[in-house]
Amino acid sequence: MSSALPPVNISVERVAKMIDHSLLRPELTISEVGDGCELSLRYDVASVCVKPSDVPFAASLLAGTDVAVGTVVGFPHGSSTSRIKAAETAAALNDGAREIDMVINIGWLRQRRDDDVLSDIEMVVRETGDVALVKVILENAYLNTDEKIRGCRLAEQAGADYVKTSTGFAPGGATLDDLRLMRTTVPPRMGVKAAGGVRSLDLLLAMAEIGVTRFGATATASILDDLRSRIDGQHKEA
């Protein structure tokens, strides 16, 4: 574990509100999802990101708290039809989700079927209205630089709130180079979410320095505990 000190303006509370605690592994039981929701409450993160079937349960546990319930649409391959993605979104909102992480149709983007990709995202954005945030997962492991740029611009054009690097289920996850590219491609109003491989505080801080505003993580507790330990160390030295 690194002993590097965090920037002076960083707090545990601030970093916690940049984390979407991920509960997407297919083998998770409902009791494990409950444990993850309790952890998310304890650390007061931005959201939990659960499988669609777990949204009602997570929403019941987190009702009235500052931890949002998020879920995934077209996950993990993005190959559902746009109509089904919109229906998934509507069902998730009805069940209590307030953040939607949707996977684009990766093949369409690679084939330069940009109008179809745009429409795909727009249908989800339209379904959410003002009720929920939409994060568009590009799955960068399968894309070249031009495709990543076009994906970001199509997400912007469609009215999405965030672009996101990865599902966490592809051969590769978030990289600093990809995040720099995404941050410089989308306007300041849009967030950038890193997911896939964000397992240490040092990596999270390096990504935040680039301008990443959300992180999908399963190592939430160890990241925030590490930060608290370093801040406490700073105070003892002062």
CA distance 212 to 164: 10
164 counts as catalytic: yes
Burial of 160 (0-12, 13-18, 19+ CB in 10 A): buried
101 counts as catalytic: yes
Catalytic residue among 85, 135, 148, 164: 164
Catalytic residue among 101, 120, 178, 226: 101
CA distance 172 to 174: 7
Alpha helices in the chain (DSSP H): 12-16, 30-43, 55-62, 82-95, 106-110, 114-128, 145-158, 176-185, 201-210, 220-237
Give the number of other Cβ atoms within 10 Å of residue 119's Cβ: 15
DSSP label of 4? P
Per-residue burial over 68-82, b if 16 or more Cβ lie within 10 Å, else e, is bbbbbbbbbebebeb
CA distance 166 to 103: 9
Catalytic (active-site) positions: 101, 164, 193
